[in-house]
Amino acid sequence: MNENIMKPRWIAMASPRRFRTRGTTLSGIYRGDYVQAFGVYFWKRVEIPRGTLRLRIEACGLGFFELCLDGHKIGDRVLDPAPTDYRKRALLTVFEPPVPAPGSHDLLAVVGNGRYFPAFGGDDPKLFCRVLVDVGAGFRPAAVSDETWRAGHGPIRANGLYFGEIYDARIPIRPERWKRAITVRGPRLGRDEIPPIRVCETLLPRSVRKPEAGRRIVDFGRNFAGWVRLSGRGRAGARITIRHAELRDEAGEINVSPNQGAAATDIYIFAGSGRESHEPRFTQHGFRYAELTGSEDVLKSLRVEGRVVHTDVAATGRFGCARPIIEAVHRNVRRGLLSNFMGMPTDCPQRDERQGWMADAHLAAEAAILNFDMAAFDRKFLRDIRDAQDRRGSIPDFVPAYLARFAPADPAWGSAYVTVAWLLYWYYGDRETLEEHFDGLAKYVDFLAANARGHIIESLGKYGDWCPPGSIAPKKASLALTSTWYYAHDTIFLARIADALGRRDEAKTLKARAAAITDAFNKRFLRGGQYEVPRSGPVDLLPGQTSNALPLWLGIVPDAARRGVFAALIKAVADDQDYHLDTGILGTRYLLEALSLGGRTDAAFRIVSQKSYPGWGYMVREGATTLWERWEKIGSGGMNSHNHVMLGSVDAWLYKYLAGVRCAAPGWAKAVIEPPRLEGCPSARASVAAGGGTLAASWTNEPGEFRLDVRVPAGTEAEVRIPLPSPRASVEDEKGLVRDGRKSAAGRLVIKLRGESRRFRIKK
């Protein structure tokens, strides 16, 4: 065999059958027709030589693909590969299945549309594949994708990310009747290094309702991303139609309004061959409820399960609290994050959008890192951002950039580039990623500078403090304020990145620019002891939560004004809103931390534990099992996703300030454990992956005694700050009275720990 000619090519089916759906999203993402292809099957007979020690298959099918060897699926990956901008690159998956017996074997690839279709800049389904065998002298090609493969259609018919999937089990797979594949052009390939998307959990129905013969409504008990697996009996040609929804109406019928233009409908047509099992391959849905329609005899035979699907990131953090409402908020954030890890961070899993909106991603990025191993996932996302950057440094609002009109980004959205890069360094010590992206980050910040006038950005803002209570557009923070604040934020953090990389000259220049932006920001927006907000009339005098929280968190308030600005923030929270939020997604990210940094964790805790509108507890009270997009409970066809992550930043505050576990140096080289002085919360606990082990803290506040248990790995130096309720309070551990600490000006006993666990008791 001449190995020099065994180079794989991209292959496709000549003139596949196509179908058309309407893209009618109300989100403004796309209006027009989606033209997509039926599922395409590629077949090749592969010879496995005697003495084969290892088998490796390297493949990419666009948009999604699966491989089968002799009729059995290889691996457990689904919705593979992770989405990218296919004009720039696609990701190659490597499989190493068990070696079959020597001889001829059938290799089948099934390819669906995914995000690779004309409206998003793609084409018909295509495949790249290389089969390698090792007979003792390293891998060599046994088969590659070329014109010798056959291509045709099979049981997977119309399929689409938003549309759903039609599977006709009556249609056999008969490669002998197919035509030869054609070679086509395809994108550059890179290795897929992120965890795969998998079926990570299976849910049984909580209840099944029968509104009439031939119809069932299944409640899986919570909102999630994935699909329904069914098993049942039906005559040949009998069909089951499954519609998916997040909500039910008052009559108990499914409410598909949040799906907007997504049909979100799967159809299975029985072969009539006894008991049949099926689950979709090339679509996914965001739902809690499924409506199944078909003949009554088929429905009676059905067993249905909910298949929970997401990128299989490892859980590395744990949080708990004695207050059930706080536990529920945390649980909803985690579920919302997982529902939107689909090879990229999406905004929502249910409607005809599901894009990598960058504000959603970076606002929840720290919460994600504290809960999961996000290192590889976030590195891939940063490369998606870099792929979308133009020569001026501009980047779009969402990536991969399937639609060009969303550039340039609102600065609050574009900040994802700098923010996620910094968080990777801060939590994982990932200096290499900073090196890889420094030039792109600098180009982006220079782009912001080029669009500023007198260091104020008036022209780039589009969304700003998105979705405050009672509104979609921002109310109490101007676009100029949020855009300029993010310009300052990104410049300050890019200066820190330059310092971390030893780029002293760049750091010096960036710090000077940041000082100039800060000065201009304060001159423009600081008025009468508070930062200005848009006014609706002469009696509108209330201070803003977002406008004051942002500069306080970033530390850019002049020293002489800090006390007054913080007082204005407290007034806006406590007096004007009775400890409720009045922030959109930007202010929500920074409000709680700004309060804690100012010594008012108690105020932040009251906000988080509210059960009345607006707040996370209100969502829980109203039955939410994931986070909503809006503070309001909305069931109409407007912007009303019930599984969104952009308000999920609260979970970072739960770890950092309620449990009191904070990273204090890159890669957790240093940490702070500082439980709050807080009434109304009996206990909280958290653990995170740090220092090559687990960093954990658990505190309990009981009458007469405060207990704190800590565990510090050898790779982390932790400063434990133990609250002292009075100057005479005593602190004991397992060995008796603690004498190895020092008292701080803040009234805490400070102890340094490394590689040990200790249990403290503080007598009140």
What secondary structure does DSSP assign to 641-705, as a single string? -SS--TTTTHHHHIIIIIS-EEE-SGGGSEEEE-----SS--EEEEEEEETTEEEEEEEEEETTE
Final residue before a domain boundary, out of 658, 692, 718: 658
Is residue 569 within 8 A of residue 543, CB to CB? The reply is: yes
pTM of the model: 0.96
The more confidently predicted of residues 44 and 30 is: 44
A 10 A CB-CB count for 50 gives 8
pLDDT of residue 3 exceeding 50: no
Is residue 41 within 8 A of residue 151, CB to CB? The reply is: yes
- Expressed as residue numbers, the domain containing 254 is 202-311
Cα–Cα distance, 219 to 553 (Å, whole number): 42
In a domain, 286, yes or no: yes
Q: Using pLDDT thresholds of 50, 70 and 90, give the confidence band for residue 1.
A: very low
What letter does residue 341 receive in the DSSP assignment? B
Q: Using pLDDT thresholds of 50, 70 and 90, give the confidence band for residue 15.
A: very high
| Structure tokens, 573 | 């929270």
358 and 263 in one domain?
Answer: no
Catalytic residue from among 66, 246, 629, 674 = 629
Final residue before a domain boundary, out of 658, 687, 706: 658
What letter does residue 593 receive in the DSSP assignment? H
Extract the runs of DSSP E, i.e. beta strands, from 101-214.
Answer: 103-112, 126-134, 139-144, 150-152, 156-160, 164-168, 179-180, 182-184, 189-191, 197-203, 207-212
Where residue 142 sits, what CATH number does that domain have?
A: 2.60.120.260
> Phi, psi at residue 64, to the nearest 5°?
-115, 155
- Three-class SS of residue 228? strand
- Please give the average per-residue pLDDT across 324-353, as a whole number: 97
32 and 66 in one domain?
Answer: yes
What letter does residue 528 receive in the DSSP assignment? T
Q: Which amino acid is at 565?
A: V
Instruction: Determine the pLDDT at residue 23.
Output: 60
Beta-strand relationship, 530-531 and 103-112: unpaired
Sign of CA pseudo-dihedral 352, 355, 357, 362? positive
Per residue in 547-570, pLDDT tens? 999 999 999 999 999 999 999 999
How many separate helices (H) and strands (E) can be counted in the chain? 16, 41
Q: Using pLDDT thresholds of 50, 70 and 90, give the confidence band for residue 536.
A: confident
The more confidently predicted of residues 254 and 34 is: 254
Residues with Cβ within 8 Å of 641's Cβ and at least 6 positions away in sequence, in order, are 246, 258, 286, 347, 348, 350, 351, 628, 629
Sign of CA pseudo-dihedral 671, 676, 677, 682? negative
> Phi, psi at residue 413, to the nearest 5°?
-90, -45
| Structure tokens, 279 | 């689950």
Interior CA angle at 270 toward 264 and 271, to 5°?
140
327 and 284 in one domain?
Answer: no
In a domain, 164, yes or no: no
In a domain, 166, yes or no: no
Is residue 344 within 8 A of residue 83, CB to CB? The reply is: yes
- 601-608 vs 585-597: helix axis angle to the nearest 10? 140
- Three-class SS of residue 357? strand
A 10 A CB-CB count for 234 gives 24
The H or E element that residue 222 is part of is strand 215-232
143 and 35 in one domain?
Answer: yes
301 and 208 in one domain?
Answer: yes
Average pLDDT taken over every residue of the chain:
95
In a domain, 751, yes or no: yes
In a domain, 165, yes or no: no
711 and 603 in one domain?
Answer: no
Domain count for the chain: 4
Cα–Cα distance, 701 to 145 (Å, whole number): 65
pLDDT of residue 26 exceeding 50: no
pLDDT of residue 164 exceeding 70: yes
333 and 468 in one domain?
Answer: yes
Instruction: Determine the pLDDT at residue 2.
Output: 47
- Three-class SS of residue 120? helix
> Phi, psi at residue 389, to the nearest 5°?
-75, 135
Is residue 210 within 8 A of residue 293, CB to CB? The reply is: no
Cα–Cα distance, 452 to 450 (Å, whole number): 6
Cα–Cα distance, 546 to 206 (Å, whole number): 40
Q: How far is CA 611 from the centre of its chain?
A: 26
Which candidate, 646, 64, 638, 80, places its Cα nearest to that of 348? 646
356 and 306 in one domain?
Answer: no
Cα–Cα distance, 484 to 640 (Å, whole number): 29
Instruction: Determine the pLDDT at residue 136.
Output: 92
Q: Using pLDDT thresholds of 50, 70 and 90, give the confidence band for residue 764.
A: confident
Final residue before a domain boundary, out of 250, 278, 311: 311
Where residue 677 sits, what CATH number does that domain have?
A: 2.60.420.10
Extract the runs of DSSP E, i.e. beta strands, from 25-138.
Answer: 31-37, 40-48, 54-62, 64-69, 72-73, 90-95, 103-112, 126-134
A 10 A CB-CB count for 512 gives 12
The CA distances from residue 283 to 29, 31, 280, 337, 355, in Å, are: 19, 20, 7, 19, 15
Per residue in 710-724, pLDDT tens? 999 999 999 999 999
pLDDT of residue 619 exceeding 50: yes
First-to-last C-alpha distance (Å) of the chain: 82
Instruction: Determine the pLDDT at residue 286.
Output: 98
- Three-class SS of residue 479? helix
What letter does residue 389 receive in the DSSP assignment? -
Cα–Cα distance, 462 to 410 (Å, whole number): 6
Per residue in 372-425, pLDDT tens? 999 999 999 999 999 999 999 999 999 999 887 788 999 999 999 999 999 999
Percent of the chain's residues with pLDDT above 70: 98
670 and 650 in one domain?
Answer: no
Residue 263 half-sphere exposure toward CB, CA atoms < 13 A: 19
In a domain, 344, yes or no: yes
Cα–Cα distance, 285 to 161 (Å, whole number): 8
Cα–Cα distance, 1 to 141 (Å, whole number): 9
Is residue 726 within 8 A of residue 676, CB to CB? The reply is: no
324 and 277 in one domain?
Answer: no
Where residue 403 sits, what CATH number does that domain have?
A: 1.50.10.10
pLDDT of residue 428 exceeding 60: yes
Catalytic residue from among 246, 353, 532, 593 = 353
Q: Based on the residue annotation, tell me whether 629 is a catalytic residue of this protein.
A: yes
Cα–Cα distance, 612 to 607 (Å, whole number): 10
In a domain, 260, yes or no: yes
Out of 508-522, 542-556, 730-744, which region has the weakest mean confidence (pLDDT)? 730-744
In a domain, 139, yes or no: yes
Q: Using pLDDT thresholds of 50, 70 and 90, give the confidence band for residue 31.
A: low
Is residue 554 within 8 A of residue 492, CB to CB? The reply is: yes
| Structure tokens, 741 | 């600490």
Cα–Cα distance, 315 to 310 (Å, whole number): 13
219 and 341 in one domain?
Answer: no
Q: Based on the residue annotation, tell me whether 296 is a catalytic residue of this protein.
A: no
Dihedral (Cα; 390, 392, 394, 399), 10-degree rounding: 10
Per residue in 477-511, pLDDT tens? 999 999 999 999 999 999 999 999 999 999 999 99
The H or E element that residue 379 is part of is helix 375-388
544 and 489 in one domain?
Answer: yes
742-745: Cβ within 8 A, 24+ apart: none
